[in-house]
Amino acid sequence: MIPWQKWLIYISIAGGLSVWAWLPLTTVSVGPTAFLDDTERLYFQRLVGQSALWTRISTRAFDRWKNPHPSVHLIAYTFPTWRTCTITLQEKSPDFLFIQDDRTTAMHRDGSILNPRLPAPHQLNNPDMMIIRGMPVAPHQLNALAIIKHRLSGYPNLGSLHIEASFQNDYIIYLNDALPIKLGPLTHLDKKLDALESFLKHNSATHTMHYIDLRYTDRVIVNYTHGRS
């Protein structure tokens, strides 16, 4: 039979452990992000005041903490001390950047809009990103844009890749912010890009060109800076 004094010791230890386990979280730190606005970053501060033990359980068990935002690819919760939490967010890469009026929208290749609330992303670090101006965000057109991006990625000497909608269904590609390639509608892309690829194999001096016109699928029309076409 256990003496009552030992029972008191066991109860005291159990009570102390219980209080310690359920102490509230006091500090939550969120690493830098490109696509979350202040309100979305404050979402994680809801963890403050929750039990430190429950926080460790809930951040592993519930989707609202595992997948808190469409821009987040991976999320890691670490606990430097029992009552502090550090959150590291690995965001998806912005494959497309749509610029229209006063709104800049970053989009991943899976169609996720990465900054649904933020008017413009913070600093971006993807040199392979395609920039689209004057064209609304249209997820159904991503396949066509991805084809253009993939086909022209074989010409790194052409520099950055921008595309602009000058009129409805009339698109112009800008290589290195300088050489316009008139594409027309986003149709017959394979034929147009095959013709462009064949032309560039034999005509690499793009600095001598004023523009390239691919709107006619059976030919490539080139206007040179010195007047020859």
Identify whether residues 140 and 82 lie together within a single domain.
Answer: no
Whether 199 and 212 have beta carbons less than 8 Å apart is answered as yes
Is residue 185 within 8 A of residue 169, CB to CB? The reply is: yes
- Domain membership of residue 8 (yes or no) is no
**Residue 191 and residue 79 share a domain:** no
CATH label of the domain that carries residue 204 = 3.40.50
Q: Considering the domain boundaries, does residue 188 fall inside one?
A: yes
54 and 142 assigned to the same domain: no
Q: Is the pLDDT assigned to residue 206 strictly greater than 70?
A: yes
Residue 162 has pLDDT above 50, yes or no: yes
For residue 92, give the 3-state DSSP assignment: coil
For residue 127, the model assigns a pLDDT of: 72
33 domain residue, yes or no: yes
Q: pLDDT grade, residue 226 (50/70/90)?
A: confident
Specify the number of domains making up the chain. 2
Verify that 208 and 110 share a domain, yes or no: yes
Q: Do residues 220 and 128 share a domain?
A: yes
Residues sharing a CB contact under 8 Å with residue 32, sequence separation 6 or more, in sequence order = 122
Percent of the chain with pLDDT over 70: 83
Q: Is residue 68 part of a domain?
A: yes
pLDDT score recorded for residue 84: 92
Residue 16 within any structural domain of the chain: no
pLDDT, one tens digit per residue, over 10-20 is 555 554 445 45
Q: Are residues 138 and 211 in the same domain?
A: yes
| 17 domain-assigned | no
Tokens of 172: 């112009």
Are 104 and 76 contained in the same domain?
no
Describe the chain by its helix, strand, coil percentages, rounded to 5: 35, 30, 40
Q: Do 129 and 72 share a structural domain?
A: no
Shared domain for 107 and 193, answered yes or no, is: yes
76-109 pLDDT, tens digit each: 999 999 889 999 999 998 888 888 888 889 988 8
- Could you list the residue range(s) of the whole structural domain that residue 65 is in? 22-91
Residue range 54-75, pLDDT digits in tens: 888 888 888 888 888 889 999 9
User: Domain ends where: 67, 91, 115?
Assistant: 91
The whole-number pLDDT of residue 228 equals 57
- Return the residue matching tokens 């059976």: 218
